[in-house]
Amino acid sequence: MALDNTEKKRDFKVVGTRVERPDGIDKVTGRARYGADMSAPGMLIGRVLRSPHAHAKIVNIDTSKAEALPGVHAVITRKDFEQPHHNSVHILESASQDVVDILDNCMAGEKALYDGHAVAAVAATSAPIARRALKLIDVTYEVLPHVTDVDAAMTPDAPILHEGRAEETAPEGSSGNVMARHEFGHGDIEAGLAKADRIVERTYKTEATHQGYIEPHACLATFGPDGQADLFCCTQGHYMVRNTCASIMGLKQGQLRVTASEIGGGFGGKTTVFLEPVALCLSRKTSRPVKMVMSRSEVLRASGPTASSSIDVRIGMTKDGKITAGFAELRYQGGAYPGSPVEFGAMSGFAPYDLENVKTIGWDVVTNRPKQAAYRAPGAPMAAYAIESAIDELAKGFGLDPLEVRLMNASREGTKASYGPTFPAIGLEATLKAAKDHPHWSAPLGPNQGRGVACGFWFNFGGDTCVTLNVAPDGTINVSEGNPDIGGSRASMSMMAAEELGVPYDQVRTIVADTASLGQNEVTDGSRVTFAVGLATIKAAQAAKQEMCKRAAMTWGIDEDAVVWEDGAAKPAGPNAGEFPPLTIAEIAATASNTGGPIAGHHEANPEGAGVSFATHMVDTEVDPETGYTKIVRYTVFQDAGKAVHPDYVEGQFQGGAAQGIGWALNEEYIYGEDGTLQNAGFLDYRIPVASDLPMIDTVILEIPNPGHPYGVRGVGETSIVPPLAAVSNAVSEAAGVRMTELPMSPPRLLAAMQSK
């Protein structure tokens, strides 16, 4: 369902329609090639030996028995890698990770820092031989004290993972596990709280959850004797893989070509490297192609989940619903290395609200867990959970409508955001009004049922982008872009190119080029691709149109500025330009060899003007008072897409984020034992929602155009996971009759809370 709130109307012919997916047939017939589908002559199989300890000094590694096993061609440890310099490799839109940390995460150096940390790897002629070789590697460990809880890691007596790594922002006297402190806000918190009729002060906790992508990490590396290397892998950013791996391997970036496979889910979790440098090192040592694929246990133990969190909130409100002050202190553990998403959480938590007095403090803390990776709006869901829960408790404490309270305090165009800038045109108010007018809001509830609402916010950004559009001699269009398609970008680029050129959608084909074919492209993350790559595609199409107008002018013998482009053809600008029949793309392309050669459009940029995104979610839950089991009865997503280029994909993004948020709220969590090892490293014990757990998730698409994009596009892929944690918690708290402050609300935890009420 789409609600059009645009002030400036534009009649689109292709954009906004529901065209066929360009990858659909290949994926349902099995022709699409994913990370594990590539093979090469003479290929070896790589496997990784991982630490069984949460924290241990690596005293010695004896690989001699493994190397002597027939069929084993190489065994590597950290000593097989050159130690890179401490510099930064761009990984996320506003964060960088030290390349030494990246290498250390891929292959442990002096210490194993978490259960599952890689300590050695082998390449053999078969998987059974490789597994046998791993058992022959003898590692001597000195087991050290460990810490996996963020609050415990900040105590004075906590075991320290890294000495002297804290940033200058970490206050003197902090635990050595505190890597950084972030602060945002304006106004006077204490003065604001003094004006409140009621203050809610709570601590909220969330556990780490995994992105849950079905395709495990996989790659095929080929390192030639000439120093040139090729890598085929499943990733959200093959340019990032090239730049990172080249730095680790001591290569020039041009020596490494990376090709992105189809991707079986990423959600932010494939925005870094885990296997790729290891496979390249094995290939270099053996002079043979090396293929590596993680098991599901390895994915959960050793790739990046999101952070767990502990958050203190203080919010004041008047009896009529006006928020007078909001304060939150967020503690996120980002695993064994610096760089948790706490800064994003601190920036985004209060962003939906126009507050005179607001302050957030964020603490980046390391623990003996796998290095955190992005997970769809990294850091924001936890912050929204805490803040939206407190706002809901305040509203209901005064007997106020929680949607009306949010409308009263909502950020609008001109609001000074809690993290600094002033918002341009935004769609939060539209989502709240749509929610209030929706039949879901007034539908009756049954026994043991509750209804919850929550708002959420996420940034968008531009990032390095490069697109080439080529016109074939028969007039068909080929678009080359450099971002793996994880949310429908090939369809969206084809649609925007077709819209701009005035041709049918099926006349355009978009491909994802390898790193040797286009200039630098940012990772597919940060809700940037439809905005940034779409903008570049439009600009490339405009460049091609200009060139085709030039060719038409040459054919007609008139000035170039006397030609215009309309409905997929070049036409004289008016009667004074002459009487000539329109020239279509096919006609211009057919004679291109005689008018100057091939026709193409190209655009590269780091575009500004990305539009922030807001959503409101509404959910009904039913709680079984005897077991604590929660059933999702009804769910509706209201989100501003700016312009829904392909509504099917947009709805899918809304539904997917909601489904993942539901899992996070109700069941998903990393469970560590007293020895610091992960207890549920498999989908039998790490429970993600399946189809039978969910109702049909309804969607309402709002379209408040982003003024920074020619078609009004905003990113939509991440905002949809921000409100569910709070919305579900608010609904469950109402249904159960007890306010929940810890996620997940698994049946045992919820039942215990109800019984202790």
Question: Residue by residue, what is the 3-state secondary structure of 666-695?
Answer: HCCCCCECCCCCECCCCCCCCCCCCHHHCC
pLDDT score for 6: 40
Angle at 595 between CA 591 and CA 600, to 5 degrees: 85
264 DSSP β-pair partners: none
Q: Is residue 108 part of a domain?
A: yes
In sequence order, what E strands does 382-527 have? 449-458, 465-471, 477-481, 508-512
pLDDT at residue 636 above 60? yes
Q: Which tokens go with 91? A: 């990984």
List strands edge to edge, sheet with 563-566.
Answer: 563-566, 569-572, 583-584
Mean pLDDT of 297-318: 98
pLDDT at residue 586 above 50? yes
pLDDT at residue 3 above 70? no
pLDDT grade, residue 93 (50/70/90)?
A: very low
Q: Is residue 493 part of a domain?
A: yes
Same domain assignment for residues 63 and 27: no
Burial bucket for residue 229 (CB in 10 Å: 0-12, 13-18, 19+)? buried
Same domain assignment for residues 499 and 563: yes
pLDDT at residue 129 above 90? yes
pLDDT score for 659: 98
Domain end position, chosen among 245, 279, 301:
301
Same domain assignment for residues 100 and 132: yes
Same domain assignment for residues 27 and 142: no
pLDDT at residue 85 above 70? no
pLDDT score for 87: 53
pLDDT grade, residue 84 (50/70/90)?
A: confident
Same domain assignment for residues 28 and 57: no
Contact predicate 536/607, CB 8 Å: yes
Domain end position, chosen among 264, 279, 301:
301
Q: Is residue 512 part of a domain?
A: yes
pLDDT score for 83: 80
Same domain assignment for residues 27 and 51: no
Closest CA to 644 of 709, 712, 720: 712
Q: Is residue 563 part of a domain?
A: yes
pLDDT grade, residue 666 (50/70/90)?
A: very high
pLDDT score for 615: 98
Q: Is residue 110 part of a domain?
A: yes
Same domain assignment for residues 117 and 56: yes
Contact predicate 603/534, CB 8 Å: no
Specify the higher pLDDT residue, 233 or 757: 233
Q: Is residue 709 part of a domain?
A: no
pLDDT score for 527: 94
Burial bucket for residue 28 (CB in 10 Å: 0-12, 13-18, 19+)? exposed
- CATH number for 285: 3.90.1170.50
- CATH number for 544: 3.30.365.10
Closest CA to 19 of 346, 725, 507, 361: 507
Same domain assignment for residues 141 and 239: yes
Mean pLDDT of 43-71: 98
Q: Is residue 138 part of a domain?
A: yes
pLDDT grade, residue 2 (50/70/90)?
A: very low
Same domain assignment for residues 27 and 100: no
Closest CA to 701 of 618, 620, 643: 643
Dist CA 603 CA 240 (whole Å): 20
pLDDT at residue 91 above 70? no
Mean pLDDT of 340-353: 98
Mean pLDDT of 416-443: 97
In sequence order, what E strands does 116-251 have? 118-124, 138-143, 178-186, 198-206, 218-223, 229-233
Residue 251 main-chain phi, psi, to 5 deg:
-105, 155
Same domain assignment for residues 51 and 27: no
Mean pLDDT of 665-683: 98
Domain end position, chosen among 301, 318, 336:
301
**Domain total for the chain?**
2
Angle at 472 between CA 468 and CA 473, to 5 degrees: 150
pLDDT score for 5: 42
* CA 194 distance to own-chain centroid: 39
Mean pLDDT of 562-581: 94
User: Domain residues for 266?
Assistant: 44-146+211-301
Helices within 398-475 (DSSP H only)? 402-409, 428-437, 439-442
pLDDT at residue 7 above 80? no
Same domain assignment for residues 60 and 28: no
Q: Is residue 683 part of a domain?
A: no
539: Cβ–Cβ under 8 A, 6 or more apart, which residues? 467, 601, 603, 605
Same domain assignment for residues 28 and 122: no
pLDDT grade, residue 1 (50/70/90)?
A: very low
**In the predicted model, what is the mean pLDDT of the chain?**
96
Q: Mind listing the pLDDT tens digit for each residue in 467-495?
A: 999 999 999 999 999 999 999 999 999 99
